[in-house]
C-alpha cells in the first residue's frame, strides 16, 4: 500500500505544482500556495452550496414532469436512468485513461522499480481517479441529502440511500479498472483491442437508446418543434420499448434502486459489494497467471517509443502529390506535409479507435434517419441530413483538433513563427491539414446518405462542404485563444478552456442553423442563406485566426481538470 500511496502522492504533487507554481520546481512561495488553498476551499464551499440548491430544483423539476406517469412507468424510468448513469461511469473516457497510463511520464522509471504488476495497475490507473472519486462522492452525499429530504427519509434511511449509491459507483469504478488493466496487458502483448472497441461501441449505442427513453417526459411539451416527429417515431418503436422493458427488470441491481424502501436499497447495498468482491477475486486470478517481469519488460520496451515517431518510418502514400498542387505557397506545403506526416505516422494517440467510433456514429445517424424519414414532413426530411452531417463533422473535428492546433507542436512553435512565414500561410496549412482528414469521412457520409436515404445530393454536398471551414476554424481559434504549449502529451490537448470555447461556439452554430431551417419555411431559401452565412463566417474566422497567430504570447493555459483527467 505504501508504494501505491507514493505513486498517488507523486502525481498529486506534480499536478499541484503545475497548477499553483506553473511548473517551476524552484518556486517555494508559501503565500501563493496558501492563497491557492484558500481559493480552492472557497470554491469547494460554493460548489457544495450550488449542488445543494441545484439538487433541490432538479428533483422538483423531475417530479413535476413524472407526475403524469403511472407508478410502474416511474419505476421503469428511474431504473433506465440509473443504468444510463452506470454505463457512463464505466465507459466515458476509458480510452483516454488507457493511453494516459501507457504514456505516463514516470512509467519508464516505475517498470524498473521493485513493484508488482498489481501495485503498478492500482497506483497508475487510480492516481488521478481517486481525487475525482472523492470529489464525486462529496457531491453524491449532498445530492443524497436532498433526495432523502424530498422522500422524507430519516437519518438511517438517508444513510442507507447514500451507501447504496456509493456502492454502485464503486462497482462501476472496479469494472472500469478491470477493463483498463486487461486492455493494458493486451496492448503490451501486442494483442488486438478490437473486442473492447466493439464492446464500448455497443455500450455507447445502448446508452444512446436509453437516453431517448429517459428524456421522453421532458420533451413531450415540445410538440411544435421540428425535431419532435423524429424523436417520437424512434421512442414509440418496439425496439426501444423492448430494450427499456428488459433493462428495468426488477431483479437487476440497478433496477432495485427504483423499488420500495428498505428492501430494494438493502438488496443493492449487499449485491454491489458482493459483485465487487467477485470481480476482485477474478482480477486477482488473472494477474496471478501472468509473469510480472515479462509484462513490465514489455512495458519498458513500449516506453522506448514514447518520444517522437516510431523507429520504422514507412512512406506515406500521396505525400508527393502536395508538390503538384498549384497556387499553394511552398511554405504552406512544407508545414502541411509536416503535419500530415506527424498525423499519419504517430500511432500512439488512438486515431484508429477514434475513427472507428466516428464511423460507428455515421452508421447510427444514417440508420436512425433511414428509420424515421418516412414519418416526417418534406422540409424536415430535406433539412435533417444537412443538420446531422454538421454534427458528425463537429465530432470528427473534436477527435483530431489536438493534432493540428498550434499548441500541438509545443514550444517548437517558436521556431515556426521566427521563420519568414506569415500568419496566413500558417493558418492555411493548419486549415488544409484538417480538411484532408475530415474530407474523406464527409465524402463517405455523402455517399452513404445518397445510397440509403436519397437526400437532395447537391444541397447535402454543398451544405456540408460550406460548413466544413467554419467547423475547422472554430476548433483552431479556440485552441489558439487558450493554448497549452507546455504539454508533451496530445491527450492533454486542447486545454480545458479551449474545450469549453469549442463547445460554446459549436452549440451557437448548430442552434443558429436549426433556427434558420425551422423559421425560413423553404428548404432552398434556407440552403442559400446557410451557404452565404458560412462564406461570411469563414472569412471572418480566418482573419481572427491569423490575428491570434500574430498575437501569440506563448502563455500556457494549464488544464483546469489536471487533477481529474
DSSP string of 310-361, one letter each residue: -SS-PPPTTGGGGGG-TT--HHHHHHHHHHHHHHHH--TT-HHHHHHHHHHH
Quote the longest CA-to-CA distance of the chain: 76
CB 183 within 8 A of CB 196: yes
Residues of the chain with pLDDT under 70: 1, 8-9, 11-12, 14-30, 32-33, 105, 128, 220-230, 250, 256-263, 290-293, 298, 300-324, 345-385, 445, 448-457, 487-492, 518, 520-521, 523, 558-565
Q: Using CA atoms of 105, 111, 112, 113 in order, give the dihedral in degrees to the nearest 10.
A: 90
Exposure b/e, 431-441, CB count within 10 A at least 16 = b: bbbbebbbeeb
Residue 362: predicted pLDDT: 62
Residue 547 CB neighbour total at 10 angstroms? 14
User: For residue 235, what is the enclosing H or E element?
Assistant: helix 228-235
Looking at residue 408, what DSSP letter applies? G
Question: Tens of pLDDT along 167-204?
Answer: 888 888 888 888 888 888 887 777 877 788 778 777 87
**Measured between alpha carbons, how far is 493 from 499 in angstroms, rounded to an integer?**
9
pTM flag (> 0.85): no
DSSP 515-538: HHHHHH--HHHHHHHHHHHHHHHH
CB 548 within 8 A of CB 117: no
Residue 537: predicted pLDDT: 93
Of residues 428, 464, 432, 467, the one with CA closest to residue 448: 464
**Measured between alpha carbons, how far is 295 from 304 in angstroms, rounded to an integer?**
15
For residue 135, give every residue at least 6 positions away whose Cβ sits within 8 Å of its Cβ, in sequence order, or none.
Answer: 564
Cα angle 502, 503, 505 (rounded to 5 degrees) comes to: 65
**Measured between alpha carbons, how far is 240 from 238 in angstroms, rounded to an integer?**
6
For residue 12, give every residue at least 6 positions away whose Cβ sits within 8 Å of its Cβ, in sequence order, or none.
Answer: 127, 131, 563
Q: CA end-to-end span of the chain, whole Å?
A: 23
Residue 544: predicted pLDDT: 92
Cis, bond preceding 512 (omega within 30 deg of 0): no
Q: Using CB atoms within 10 Å of the CB of residue 445, give its burial: 0 to 12 exposed, 13 to 18 middle, 19+ buried.
A: buried
Question: Tens of pLDDT along 500-548?
Answer: 899 899 888 888 887 777 676 676 787 888 889 999 999 999 999 999 8
CB 371 within 8 A of CB 237: yes
CB 381 within 8 A of CB 373: yes
190 backbone φψ class: left, alpha, beta (φ>0; ψ -120 to 50): left
Q: Hey, what's the cell of 360?
A: 460507428
**Measured between alpha carbons, how far is 357 from 201 in angstroms, rounded to an integer?**
7
Question: Tens of pLDDT along 364-421?
Answer: 666 666 555 555 555 455 666 677 777 777 877 887 888 888 888 777 777 777 778 8
Q: Using CB atoms within 10 Å of the CB of residue 349, give its burial: 0 to 12 exposed, 13 to 18 middle, 19+ buried.
A: buried
Residue 370: predicted pLDDT: 58
Amino acid at each position: 500500500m505504501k508504494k501505491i500511496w507514493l505513486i498517488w502522492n507523486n502525481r498529486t504533487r506534480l499536478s499541484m505544482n503545475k497548477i499553483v507554481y506553473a511548473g517551476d520546481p524552484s518556486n517555494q512561495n508559501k503565500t501563493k500556495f496558501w492563497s491557492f488553498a484558500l481559493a480552492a476551499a472557497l470554491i469547494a464551499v460554493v460548489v457544495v452550496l450550488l449542488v445543494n440548491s441545484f439538487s433541490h430544483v432538479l428533483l422538483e423539476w423531475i417530479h413535476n414532469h413524472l407526475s403524469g406517469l403511472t407508478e410502474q412507468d416511474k419505476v421503469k424510468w428511474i431504473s433506465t436512468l440509473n443504468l444510463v448513469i452506470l454505463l457512463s461511469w464505466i465507459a466515458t473516457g476509458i480510452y483516454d485513461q488507457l493511453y494516459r497510463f501507457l504514456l505516463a511520464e514516470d512509467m519508464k522509471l516505475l517498470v524498473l522499480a521493485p513493484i508488482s504488476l498489481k501495485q503498478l495497475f492500482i497506483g497508475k490507473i487510480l492516481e488521478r481517479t481517486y481525487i475525482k472519486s472523492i470529489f464525486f462522492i462529496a457531491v453524491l452525499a449532498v445530492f443524497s441529502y436532498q433526495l432523502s429530504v424530498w422522500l422524507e427519509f430519516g437519518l438511517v434511511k438517508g444513510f442507507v440511500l447514500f451507501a447504496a449509491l456509493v456502492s454502485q459507483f464503486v462497482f462501476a469504478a472496479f469494472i472500469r479498472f478491470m477493463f483498463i488493466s486487461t486492455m493494458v496487458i493486451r496492448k503490451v502483448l501486442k494483442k488486438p483491442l478490437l473486442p473492447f472497441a466493439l464492446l464500448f461501441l455497443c455500450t455507447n449505442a445502448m446508452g444512446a437508446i436509453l437516453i431517448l427513453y429517459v428524456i421522453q417526459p421532458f420533451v413531450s411539451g415540445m410538440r411544435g418543434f421540428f425535431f419532435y416527429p423524429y424523436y417520437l417515431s424512434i421512442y414509440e418503436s418496439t425496439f426501444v420499448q423492448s430494450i427499456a422493458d428488459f433493462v428495468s427488470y426488477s431483479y437487476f441491481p440497478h433496477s432495485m434502486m427504483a423499488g420500495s424502501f428498505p428492501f430494494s436499497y438493502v438488496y443493492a447495498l449487499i449485491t454491489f459489494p458482493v459483485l465487487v468482491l467477485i470481480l476482485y477475486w477474478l482480477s486477482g486470478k488473472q494477474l496471478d497467471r501472468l509473469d510480472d517481469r515479462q509484462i513490465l519488460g514489455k512495458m519498458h520496451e513500449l516506453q522506448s517509443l514514447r518520444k517522437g515517431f516510431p523507429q520504422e518510418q514507412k512512406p506515406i502514400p500521396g505525400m508527393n502529390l502536395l508538390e503538384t498542387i498549384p497556387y499553394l505557397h511552398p511554405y504552406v506545403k512544407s508545414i502541411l506535409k509536416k503535419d500530415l506526416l506527424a498525423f499519419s505516422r504517430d500511432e500512439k494517440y488512438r486515431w484508429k479507435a477514434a475513427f472507428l467510433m466516428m464511423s460507428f456514429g455515421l452508421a447510427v445517424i444514417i440508420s436512425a434517419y433511414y428509420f424515421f424519414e418516412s414519418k416526417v414532413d418534406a422540409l424536415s426530411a430535406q433539412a435533417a441530413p444537412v443538420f446531422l452531417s454538421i454534427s458528425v463533422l463537429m465530432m470528427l473535428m473534436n477527435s483530431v483538433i489536438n493534432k493540428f492546433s498550434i499548441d500541438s507542436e509545443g514550444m517548437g512553435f517558436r521556431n515556426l513563427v521566427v521563420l519568414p512565414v506569415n500568419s496566413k500561410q500558417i493558418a492555411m496549412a493548419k486549415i488544409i491539414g484538417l480538411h484532408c482528414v475530415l474530407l474523406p469521412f464527409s465524402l463517405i457520409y455523402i455517399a452513404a446518405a445518397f445510397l440509403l436515404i436519397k437526400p437532395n445530393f447537391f444541397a447535402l454536398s454543398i451544405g456540408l462542404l460550406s460548413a466544413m471551414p467554419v467547423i475547422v476554424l472554430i476548433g483552431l481559434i479556440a485552441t489558439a485563444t487558450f493554448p497549452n504549449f507546455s504539454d508533451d502529451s496530445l491527450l492533454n490537448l486542447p486545454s480545458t478552456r479551449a474545450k469549453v470555447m469549442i463547445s460554446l461556439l459549436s452549440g451557437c452554430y448548430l442552434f443558429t442553423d436549426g433556427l434558420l431551417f425551422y423559421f425560413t419555411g423553404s428548404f432552398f431559401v434556407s440552403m442559400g442563406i446557410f451557404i452565404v452565412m458560412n462564406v461570411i463566417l469563414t472569412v471572418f474566422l480566418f482573419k481572427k485566426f491569423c490575428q491570434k497567430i500574430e498575437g501569440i504570447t506563448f502563455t500556457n493555459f494549464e488544464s483546469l481538470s489536471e487533477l481529474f483527467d
